Amino acid sequence: MSETKLNKQLNITKPLKLKPVFRKVSPDRILLYGFLILIAVILLGPFIWLVSASFKESKDIFSTTFTLFPQREDGSIYFSFENYTGAIEYLQFGSLFVNTLIVSVVTTIINLFFNSLAGYSFARLKFKGRDLIFKLMLTSMMVPGTVLLVPNMIIINKLGLYDSLGALMVPFLMSVYNIFLMRQHFLSLPRELEESAIIDGAGWFTVFWKIAMPLAKPICVVLGIFTFMWNYNNFLWPLVVINSPENYTLALGLGALISASNTSAENYPLMIAGAVVVSLPLIIIFALFQKHIMKGINVGGVKG
């Protein structure tokens, strides 16, 4: 039926324009979507295999044919949940998760407070040697973290914190990278609000806590999540300063499980299931705070 006849039947005086059902897609957009799909497959492929293999028996893990779901020789699908129960029991997931959560949360909170305070000081306060101190601090970012292992361990020993959860927190209560990002964000904020508060008699800390910090919530959320994830995944430093199993973190527990799995192929399903269990909390955190992460990154990209 033509548009003219349809307009007459519906008593429409103004011509009705019918939109096409399918929009024409440009070749550039097709190439873009194809490229993004390829990147997604490359990034998600190993994790999909990890989750699939965590439900398999050891003989099926080394099979040359990949199947999305575990299958027996007769083609029937099965799921070996014993891998997860064995991995959780070996990892002592409850106590290790509590240790990891304490270290990550406490370090993140103190890190954000100190780094935001330092960033605001470099951005707003004027004191002798400010720019020189900031430049020297930035140069420390060029030093590899492994070079600082021995000096940090000596300091931890002198403080009497060796083989304790405190040893996992103290070296990471400050971060030059976070200070730099906080300083750049505070520099982008308008000075008028702070100047009016100072005229009303507010001190610098009051201005920082009541005015600057509420405006810096998006970047604080992003840095807080990244700091939490870094401390959650940290393996090398706990390996150096922790000896007692009761002070292990999930990263150390997973490392011990991997070492045990190397001695026998029968332990490979436990190792893979343990890797899924350890990574699951981070996936949940990212899913819950995805909008805040993107918002903070956009704010940092526009204003920083």
- How does pLDDT run along the chain (304 residues), one tens digit per residue? 555 555 555 555 555 455 555 566 778 888 988 999 999 889 888 888 888 888 888 888 777 777 778 887 777 888 888 889 988 888 888 899 999 999 999 999 999 999 999 999 999 998 899 999 999 999 988 888 888 898 999 999 999 999 999 999 999 999 999 999 999 999 988 888 888 888 888 888 899 999 999 988 888 988 999 899 999 999 999 999 999 989 999 999 988 888 877 666 667 888 889 999 999 988 888 888 887 777 666 655 444 4
Q: What is the pLDDT of residue 9?
A: 56
Any idea which fold 93-303 has?
MetI-like fold (1.10.3720)
Q: Which has the closest alpha carbon to 115: 13, 214, 183, 22?
A: 183
pTM of the predicted protein model: 0.81
* Residue 239: CB atoms within 10 Å: 15
Question: In Å, what is the CA distance from 133 to each residue of 23, 67, 117, 179?
Answer: 57, 57, 15, 12
Query: CA–CA separation, 266 vs 264, rounded Å?
Result: 5
Residues 251-255: contacts with CB under 8 Å, at least 24 apart: 251/100, 251/278, 252/96, 253/90, 253/91, 253/92, 253/93, 253/96, 253/278, 254/91, 254/278
Total residue count of the chain as it appears in this document: 304
Our separate counts of H helices and E strands in the chain read: 17, 0
Query: CA–CA separation, 284 vs 105, rounded Å?
Result: 16
R_g (Cα) of the chain, nearest Å: 27
Residue linked to tokens 């990574």? 279
Q: What is the pLDDT of residue 143?
A: 86
Residue type, 235: F
Query: CA–CA separation, 266 vs 258, rounded Å?
Result: 12
Query: CA–CA separation, 15 vs 90, rounded Å?
Result: 73
